[in-house]
Structure 1
Amino acid sequence: MYLSRVQIDVNNRQKTKELTHLGAYHNWVEQSFPAEIAAHKRLRHLWRVDHLAGKTYLLVLSEEAPDLTKLGMFGVPHTAMTKSYDPFLAKIQEGQIMQFRLTANPTHAIPREGKSQPRIVPHITVDQQRQWLADRAEKHGFQLVQTTLAGASDSEAIDNFDIVSRDWPVLHKGKRNMKLSRVTFEGLLRVSQLDDFKQLLVTGIGREKAFGMGLMTVIPRG
């Protein structure tokens, strides 16, 4: 696996004028793997857009390394870079405390009378979105680290994570324009099941993974 990043040249509107919807970002990511296109072999690439310290980045996780010239197409010159992700994955241990960042599309299914397929709708409130992540922690091999305030009982412990951004980016699908719920979480977790957690890191979580959702990255604490 490879983790790649480029700073998006948001101050050059002529260069980035095409980046007006999620499909354009998806196309950018796909075009960064010309060997796959030539071989008619499309692999899934997780990606997200990060806003950090006044700069905007495209982050991509992929099985093969991207073409850095293509990845830098809409980037600040000389900022496209890639590195092998496997050595990092190999060092993760059960019980380890990690700082995480996740951009996801929190949704839930509503049964429809007379229909075999449920209706998929986004969670709207902050509490619903926080609960969405908490409900998926065990399945994906981690526990959200909890904090107990001084003088409070253990039952009053709170999960140590926050929602740092929420928005509704546009996705063009044919002649339709859709808005997807995009939520970015940050906080602390503890690795509880190593294999499940590694699987989460390389395959993502939730829906709309092709359109910038589902990629979790972690940094060891301590």
Structure 2
Amino acid sequence: MFLTKMPINPQRRGAQQLLSSPQAMHAAVLAGFPDARPTEDGRVLWRLDTYAHHRVLLFIASPDKPDLQHLVEQAGWPTTQAWQTASYDGMLASLRTGQRWQFRLTANPVRAGRRDGWDDTKPLGHVTVAQQQQWLLDRTERLGFRFCRSHGNPSEPDLAVIDRTVRRFRRGSSRVTISTATFEGHLEILDALSIQRALTFGIGRAKSYGCGLMTLARPAASTP
């Protein structure tokens, strides 16, 4: 597996088109691979992170190295910055039960429900922060981790929703609506194999549309 990071220039028209449509960004990401089908090692996952001063980074986890020259020319910084790709295998192999990591995840928290006038159940997006947090809390054990305790309130998990968005875009002749939540916090590994699978195959639905990719980083300080 490989992990790739590429800066996006949000002032460029091509970038604005991609940032406004997860369908368009999905197609652009997949165009970086001769064969983007899932393998036994994992699948292509991507996520857009936005920081201060309009800084935007595209993260991609993938079984093969991407060639993102087309994305750099359309939406990046062609003369100054390209993309960086590093092997993910060493980090994945180093995961052990009991380790604590800082994490970030953009996901599509949904529940099964019925829309007005519909007989069949459909996936409906969770609306509140509490619902979105509970959605993730309900899945942690089978994903191979649990949340550390919050510094500010030891009775609460170290889990925050830092961004919530409802995205509406076109997919062919259809309109698609997805609700996303970006989570941050600290976790403790309970099962290394399970969390490795979560990192390489993704978490939840809408993986084609920038959801499901969780990344880990060493915590800046000890976490209770």
Q: Shorter chain as normaliser: what TM range?
A: 0.7 to 0.9
Q: What are the equivalent positions in structure 2 for 1:6-25 lying under 5 Å apart?
A: 6-13=6-13, 15-19=14-18, 20-25=20-25
TM-superposed CA distance for 1:160, in Å, is: 0.9
Question: Is the 2:107–2:204 contact (alpha carbons within 8 Å) kept by the matching residues of 1?
Answer: yes
1:90–1:171 distance in 2 versus 1, CA, 3 Å: same
Q: Does 2:125 correspond to 1:122?
A: yes
Amino acid at match of 1:207: R
Q: What are the equivalent positions in structure 2 for 1:5-84 lying under 5 Å apart?
A: 5-13=5-13, 15-19=14-18, 20-33=20-33, 35-36=34-35, 42-43=37-38, 44-54=43-53, 55-73=55-73, 74-77=75-78, 78-84=81-87
| Aligned-partner Cα distance in 2 for 1:169–1:199 | 27
Greater Cα radius of gyration, structure 1 or 2: 1
Q: Does 2:104 correspond to 1:101?
A: yes
| Aligned-partner Cα distance in 2 for 1:187–1:17 | 29
Structure 1 residue ranges (4+ consecutive) displaced by more than 6 angstroms after TM superposition:
none
1:18–1:148 distance in 2 versus 1, CA, 3 Å: closer
Amino acid at match of 1:136: R
Alignment partner of 1:10: what SS?
coil
**Unmatched segments (≥5 aa) in structure 1:** 151-155
Q: 1:189: which partner in 2?
A: 187
Amino acid at match of 1:9: N
1:149–1:210 distance in 2 versus 1, CA, 3 Å: closer
Question: Is the 2:10–2:16 contact (alpha carbons within 8 Å) kept by the matching residues of 1?
Answer: no
Calculate the aligned-residue CA RMSD, in Å.
Answer: 2.1
**Unmatched segments (≥5 aa) in structure 2:** none
Amino acid at match of 1:16: A
Aligned positions, number: 209
Q: What are the equivalent positions in structure 2 for 1:201-212 lying under 5 Å apart?
A: 201-212=199-210
